[in-house]
Amino acid sequence: MRKRSLSINLLLAILIAAASLSSTAFAAKEVNLYSARKEALIKPLLDRFSAQTGIQVNLVTGKADALLKRLQLEGRNSPADLLITTDAGRLYRAKSAGVTQSVSSLKLRDTIPAAYRDPEGHWFGLSLRARPIIYVKGKVSADELSTYEALADPKWAKKICIRSSGNIYNQSLVASMLSHDGKDETQVWADSLMKNLARKPKGGDRDQIKAAAGQCDIAIANTYYLGKMVKGKDPSQQAAAEKVAIFWPNQSDRGAHVNISGVTLTRAAKNRANAIRLMEFLVTPESQSWYAEANYEYPVREGVEWSDLLKQWGSFKADQLNLAKLGQNNAAAVRIMDRAGWK
């Protein structure tokens, strides 16, 4: 009986070990991604990654704030290994919420400039988005423009369109100005800017550009929205885009304000090694070039050729402020906007 019992125990041990190895092998073939980027803007890259590595990417898309909330509610039980989201401010929120973990990767560190990654390795920029001044050709001359700060000049009264203060892109713009100009100067700027608006803030960036072609003379918007209007199929948006041009502000000092879409490894990640492989794949020259062609964003990796449309907009000096500052200054930026009556 004892010999039989030992055989049964040995068999059970073998079965348990086999099940464990099978589970590990299965886990080694997948990575789970939550993405605030629409499927069309990320899935082609994920498919290329899977084809090259044999690792399946399970994609869940959604609104940026909703995905962060989901990660918080799921906690350590979250199936997500990675989160891709837009704006450094949101990446900072994810880190502050305790749903991320640091990554030590020489490939990521050596490829991505320090300004576009978290100093502690919690998040990394994947693509660069610029937020310059967009002006109506024939109504405004580039010679009249200079800096973001100069938009507070009374000569621009009733001529500027911009999104609401609830928009993270504007919050990050103000947060960057806080870092460069200080609290008092930024408050004066925000107060004066509100006096120069042609209308109450409403709509998205494309709405500001369309309004700039009619209701106002100047808009502040991310360049990739203009790209979507130029390359899109809506004749009215194409017509509006034809009427405007880009001006790169602050070229004689800090440079134009930029932000990122970025990626972070979740604290709950169960496929850590595969997730890091995907992070590194997303900053390869192939992936970086795809961002520029597909979504009119700028590569974070140096030496990657821009798309023809980006080249048409001209080269520019970008602000080298570490984007972690945008998250750190977010609350103060929102208070300044509220005091200015920025709705």
φ/ψ of 142, rounded to 5, equals -60, -30
> Tokens 């003379």 appear where?
217
Helices (H), 28-167: 43-53, 64-74, 88-96, 106-111
Tell whether residue 225 is among the known ligand binding residues.
yes
DSSP code, position 98: T
Q: What is the end-to-end Cα distance of the chain in Å, rounded? A: 81
In the chain, which ranges are E strands?
Answer: 30-35, 56-61, 82-86, 100-101, 123-130, 133-136, 160-161, 218-220, 244-247, 258-266, 298-299
Helix then strand then coil, in percent of the chain rounded to 5, is: 50, 15, 30
| Sign, Cα dihedral of 157, 163, 167, 169 | negative
Q: Which two tokens stand for residue 144?
A: 């009249």
DSSP-based three-state secondary structure for 140: strand
Consult the annotation and say whether 298 binds a ligand: no
Residue that has been written with the tokens 């909330």 in this structure = 69
Binding-site residue set for Fe cation: 224-225
Q: Return binding residues.
A: 224-225
